Amino acid sequence: MSATCPRCGGELRETASGFRCRSCGYTCSAFEKPFSTREEPKPSYQEETIYDKASSAANIYDRNISGVCIIRNIEDQCSGSGFIYKSNGLVITNAHVIYFDKENRPSRRLEVLVNGALYKANVIKSNKPEGDDDIALLKIESANYFHELKLGNSDKVHNGEEVIAIGNPKGEGLSITKGIVSDAQRVYGSEHYIMSDVTINGGNSGGPLFNEKGEVVAICVSARREAENMNFFIPINHVLDYIHRWGY
């Protein structure tokens, strides 16, 4: 708040004996207060950081990165992604990440890197690596507890919604990409997918797709090679149908 001169409207400066106008030199006693006051103008904007919104990509990354896994198939010399489904070490991923030969047998030599630590893992249940049934459940060989990711409802995903993928593209380590839902109910034959332009590459397979709340709503499965930014994800509700059927 500042004082204004009653004669010229200039700014009054406080001195030892009272107030003096910077513009016209008018003086008055500190006890007389022959002047009006005015409020300083408030900023016309509000400062905002990237953490102010729950939908912030940085916020979602920070809150979930410790529950996203890099999966290494030693027998097939390839890698993929997954995420912690239960804190006891159950991991959801794609079936094609853990198969290693023409007989489509699950690998017996799997490693899971999660939150900076490397563990051995075993296949608990798996479908054949085909279509929207390309789902597998692993168990980390450890008595440790892990960061369990929160699951959303894929039936509520809508076109145009912002989504975020975290995974291990090309085996280069975990990274994050952002896009929108192009089609929340893309159908190919009898198979249902969420289609998005969020960038994925080989190695993202099995990794989580997050909604704006930071909930897992799908898992990455494939990209349309002859197209650009046509990427497909298995809805988490469909994934859970199998997981629950398997008793987990």
Residues annotated as catalytic are 96, 134, 205
Cα dihedral 17, 19, 22, 23 sign: negative
Quickly count: other Cβ atoms within 10 Å of residue 29's Cβ.
10
Expressed in angstroms, the distance from the first to the final Cα of the chain is 64
12-14: strand order across its sheet: 12-14, 19-21, 27-28
CA angle 153, 206, 193 (to 5 degrees): 50
| Cα 35 to Cα 241: distance, rounded to the nearest angstrom | 75
Buried b (16+ CB within 10 A) or exposed e, 171-185: eeebbbbbbebbebe
Tokens of 63: 């809150």
Location of structure tokens 């563990």: 119
